[in-house]
Chains A and B, each alone.
Chain A
Amino acid sequence: MTRSRLAVALVVLAAVLMLVPLLWVLALSLKANGELMVDTASVFNGRFTLENYRNLFGNGAVFRWIGNSLIVSLGMTVGVLILASLAGYGFARLEFRGRDALFVIVLLGLAVPEQAVIIARHQMFSWLGMHNTYQALILPGLSAPFGVFLMTQYFRAIPKDIDEAALLDGASRFTIFWKLLLPLTIPAQATLGIFTFLSAWNDYWWPLISATNKDMFTLTVGIASTQMNFAQTEGLGFLMAQAVFAGAPMLIVYLFFQKYIVQAVAGAAGR
């Protein structure tokens, strides 16, 4: 009993320690920039303001940037789920020449950092005249070797007896995939979907150089563009309001999907 109470106390302490920086960010976002420039300890003097949030929402483009981020993140998530599921099924269940070699090639994609291909990718989209479009922001993210690997492993873990029984009953390959196996992969789909959505939402570099028209900025690029040269000094409160604002959608996603996120993280740790 004493041991379990001690464990709870430690967990609560760890949770509080995790929360302190977030609360600090929130508190700073509610302070006037001028006060913070002189002393960040002014957080404790009790004078708070919503001015930073007013300035943030006063920029009419913010809502467009949120819309862009939603379209890109959702588009990429849906695309990755479809492609990774199909590829994963193919690698796990279908026999074809060069399958293993192809799988290795796909996995090699995990070892290639984005920085290594960014110039070639930029040039390619430039030739196609696709910069400053949703396609340019979504398509590169659809190449998701991790997703293919995850789904392949998940399909492999499902007993083949299910497929064989269905084949005997005259089901087609697609029916087996669509009606029998895909529903069994929902936990993996949730994991992959959440991670894809989060990484697409937080992506900064590719949108920075592909979406150069402010109407096509995603939220990360848009809010960065509103910062002054010395934002961390002269506009600290505004900077923190931006951080809160950019993080809020993720918090909402977590609240709705926390069961799957916890499962995903636990599952990843278990494997």
Chain B
Amino acid sequence: MRALWLLPLALLGSCASPAPDKTRLVIQRFFGACEAEYGRATDIAKAEGECGIVTTMINRFQAENPDVDVVENVVFWPGYDQLTAQLAANDAPDLVTMHGSVISDYQARGLLEPLDADLAAIGAPPASFTTAARTAVTVDGRAWGLPIDTWAPLWHINMNLFRKAGLVRGGKPVLPRSPEELYAQAQQFRERTGKPYLVQGAANEYAGFTRNFYTFVMQQNGTLFRNGRATFATPEGRNALQLFKTIYDRDFTTKNQDYSAAVAGFLKGDGGVFLVGTWMVGTFDAESRKTSGALANGGYTVMPYPKLFAREATFADGHVWVMPRSNHRRPGERAAAIRFLKFFAGHAKHWARTGHLPAFQAIIDSPEWRALPHRDNLAILATTAQPLPKQVRRQFPIETIVGTEAASAISGAKPIDRTLSDMERRVNEVLENL
């Protein structure tokens, strides 16, 4: 009878036993789990979506490298609490997915391994990355990871409504070239369609406000951070907030929608332009191939943020493979990790199907990538997408502060000048207490 009680424990124990004579490689990632659909898939070309493609890639690597025992840890997005805990316990995985904006937080504390030499050895030197991807992984002149992609907020456009609004010329959407043109086109759009020009997920969702603010300050050649301190209370900052406050005040945008409601709203034709990132390109394009729905019959296209001020620029971030520092990692395990990075770089073209911008310039220049839907419109992002300076640490909490403050100014709850000084003060408090 006692043995019966022990049976479940014994079964559980047996599941965890490591494969003998194999090098253990622990890969920790976000992007969700899709084992039911892709648990055994190895044909990367047939995989779809972030989860499907990354799972299939790891399966394929495992199949091609029988001497390596890949342990895949899928963590709840973004997984930094777990990673920090693992580093504190000196139990770091061999490779981890990380946002480019987070790298400097870990690098500054000596928690990452530089990978310059390894990247060069596997044929993926930083020179082969796009400007945006190279910037994302470079701190103090060294590369701290293999970039997976670059993502940026985009203008997802309902072409059916744009046609109705008279804002299509030569099959292309007519986009504004200044704030005044934007207001005029939004006015025209509303008069002809009865709908707001913009769709925004703005309720309980502050990242969008931050991305807009950063983007339009960057377009004015404004300085967001100088010598490690925020400098938001500037004329450029004021213009960026005033732009969206005017849009809000003149009802050129949907209001009170959270992210999910905004996605659904755009799919139902609530407005002309949805401000959201690269990750939605595939979903919206699939909708446009249907014969019914607001985006039906090719009624969708996507463009980078239009140049409303002095230069083309869009705030960007990206995903990166990094190698946390570990006292326990054996040379064989490190070699297996580098082998995986080489494998990933060799198959990076498949990741481009997720909608994110490829990290390698050669892929962006390839006819294969350009032939993917809408990618020609987005190729310019390889040079115009711009992350924050790497000296800026704690970019996730800063994003929340900037977003909440911007939201209060745009909704009229707080004057713009006071908002900018509050935003600057609060962010500098974070930066001063590192």
Which residues does A use to contact B, with CB under 8 Å?
A: 37-40, 54-61, 64, 67-68, 71, 122-123, 125-126, 131-132, 208-210, 212-215, 221, 224-236
**B9 near A71 (CB under 8 angstroms)?**
yes
Judge if B413 is at the interface, Cβ distance under 8 Å. no
Say yes or no: A228 contacts B268, CB within 8 Å: no
Q: Is the CB of B74 within 8 A of A214?
A: yes
By the criterion CB–CB under 8 Å, are B264 and A38 in contact?
yes
Contact A122-B260, Cβ < 8 Å, known A58-B39, A214-B74, A226-B33: no
Contact B279 A230 (CB under 8 A): yes
CA gap between A62 and B30 in the complex, in Å: 17
Give the interface segment out of B82-90, B106-114, B391-399.
B82-90
Bound CA–CA A236/B261 (angstroms) = 12
User: Can you give 14 contacting A-B residue pairs, CB < 8 Å?
Assistant: A38-B264, A38-B268, A38-B293, A54-B36, A57-B36, A59-B36, A67-B12, A122-B89, A126-B90, A215-B15, A225-B33, A226-B74, A229-B279, A234-B283
A64 in contact with B35 (CB, 8 Å): no
A contact residues around B283 at 8 Å (CB): 37, 234
Residues in B neighbouring A59, C-beta threshold 8 A: 33, 35-36, 39
Knowing A37-B263, A212-B86, A215-B15, say if A227 contacts B76 (CB, 8 Å): yes
A contact residues around B268 at 8 Å (CB): 38-39
What separation, in Å, do the CA atoms of A235 and B31 have in the docked complex? 12
Option from B32, B88, B260, B263 in Cβ contact (under 8 Å) with A229: B32
Whether the Cβ atoms of B81 and A227 lie closer than 8 Å is no
Whether A225 contacts B74 by the Cβ 8 Å rule is yes
Is there an interface contact between A38 and B82, defined as CB atoms closer than 8 Å? no
B interface residues (Cβ-Cβ under 8 A, vs A): 8-9, 11-12, 15-16, 30-37, 39, 50-51, 71-77, 81-82, 84-86, 88-91, 259-260, 263-264, 267-268, 279, 283, 293
Known: A60-B35, A131-B89, A229-B50. 12 other contacts (CB 8 A): A37-B263, A67-B8, A71-B12, A208-B82, A210-B85, A212-B85, A214-B71, A214-B72, A225-B33, A225-B74, A227-B77, A228-B32
Evaluate whether A126 and B88 lie within 8 angstroms (CB atoms) in the complex, with A55-B34, A67-B12, A225-B75 already known: yes
In Å, the complex CA distance between A37 and B293 comes to 13
Contact B15 A58 (CB under 8 A): no
**Given known contacts A208-B82, A214-B73, A234-B283, is B15 in contact with A229 (CB within 8 Å)?**
no
Whether B76 contacts A225 by the Cβ 8 Å rule is yes
A132 touches B91 (CB 8 A): yes
B91–A131 CB distance below 8 A: yes
Q: How far is the CB of B195 from chain A (nearest CB, A)?
A: 17
A213 to B71, CA, bound (A): 9
A228–B88 CB distance below 8 A: no
A229 and B354 alpha carbons, distance in the complex (Å): 13
A122-B88, A123-B88 are contacts. A212–B35 as well, Cβ < 8 Å? Answer: no
Main SS of chain B's interface residues? helix
Which residues of the partner chain A approach B279 to less than 8 Å between Cβ atoms? 229-230
When chains A and B are docked, how far (Å) is the Cα of A230 from the Cα of B278?
13
Contact residues in B for A215 (Cβ distance below 8 Å):
15-16
How far apart sit A86 and B86, CA to CA, in the bound complex (Å)? Answer: 36
Distance in angstroms between the alpha carbons of A212 and B84 in the assembled complex: 10
Q: How far is the CA of A39 from the CA of B85 in the complex (A)?
A: 39
Task: State A125–B85 Cα separation when bound (angstroms).
Answer: 11
Complex contacts, A60 vs chain B, CB 8 Å: 35, 39
Q: Which residue of B lies closest to A130 (CB)?
A: B89
Shortest C-beta distance, A164 to chain B (Å), equals 39
Q: Closest CB-CB distance, B12 to chain A, in whole Å?
A: 5
A residues less than 8 Å from B50 (CB atoms): 228-229
Report the minimal beta-carbon distance from B23 to chain A, rounded to whole angstroms. 17
- Chain A residue numbers with a CB within 8 Å of B71 are 213-214
Among B9, B12, B30, B36, contact of A55 (Cβ-Cβ < 8 Å): B36
Within the complex, which residue of A39, A210, A221 is in contact with B264, where a contact is CB–CB below 8 Å? A39
Known: A213-B73, A233-B260. A122 touches B85 (CB 8 A): yes
Pair A209/B82 contact, Cβ less than 8 Å: yes
A219–B32 CA distance with the chains assembled, in angstroms: 15
- Residue of B50, B84, B89, B279 with most chain A CB atoms under a 10 A cut-off: B89
Residue among B32, B72, B264 with most chain A CB within 10 A:
B32
State in angstroms the CA–CA spacing of A212 and B82 once bound together. Answer: 6
Closest to B12 in A: A67
Q: Which 7 A-B pairs have the closest CB atoms?
A: A58-B36, A228-B32, A226-B33, A209-B85, A126-B89, A224-B76, A55-B36
A203 to B388, CA, bound (A): 36
Within the complex, the shortest CB–CB distance from A84 to chain B, in Å, comes to 23
Closest to B89 in A: A126
Q: Which residues of A contact B267 (CB under 8 A)?
A: 37-38
Bound together, the chains give a CA A54 to CA B35 distance in angstroms of 11
Residue of A at shortest CB range from B201? Answer: A233
Whether A64 touches B12, Cβ cut-off 8 Å, given contacts A59-B33, A209-B82, is yes
Residues in A neighbouring B263, C-beta threshold 8 A = 37, 233
